Amino acid sequence: MPLTLEAQLDLFLRVLAGAGLCAVIGIERERHGHAAGLRTHMLVGLGAALFTVLSFYAFPNSDPARIAAQIVSGIGFLGAGAILQRRDRYHMHGLTTAASIWASAAIGMACGAALYVIAALTALLVVIVLAVLAPLGERLRPPSKAEPEGVPYP
């Protein structure tokens, strides 16, 4: 049985909330020049919210956890594309961006399930981790190591 227009608008608000909360994370990533910025995080959040909504309402006799599990693995694949290893084998780039994409998917899923408070607080926590803790991480990180002499890159 199709959902009423009012019910569909409520579900759209869930998708909009996913996009909006993940936009905040994307703005922080964009400010620091990361390739996965505003649009990527918004799309991940709204996509995860929509998949979550669909899992509950479009397929009423199915297990919603099956779609949730596929969101997690699909986002893991997307996040893996954000991780790069430089030729010197000692520098990884994109791990934090991949983690922020993963967290955005979780926030989108929470919005899709209408868990707005936990989604908003988690988005705030992600931004704090990314923006506030970044300078602390830089100070705690030991100086980078150069590739040892005589060890060629395979």
Which of residues 33 and 139 earns the better pLDDT score?
33
What is the DSSP secondary-structure string of 133-144? HHHHHHHHSPPP
Q: What is the pLDDT of residue 138?
A: 76
Query: Does residue 152 register a pLDDT over 70?
Result: no
Q: Minimal CA–CA distance to 26: which of 85, 83, 107?
A: 107
Mean pLDDT of the 139-144 span: 73
Which of residues 142 and 32 earns the better pLDDT score?
32
Mean pLDDT of the 137-151 span: 64
CB 34 within 8 A of CB 97: yes
Mean pLDDT of the 103-119 span: 97
The model's confidence at residue 34, banded by pLDDT at 50, 70 and 90, is confident
Which of residues 127 and 153 earns the better pLDDT score?
127
Query: Does residue 90 register a pLDDT over 80?
Result: no
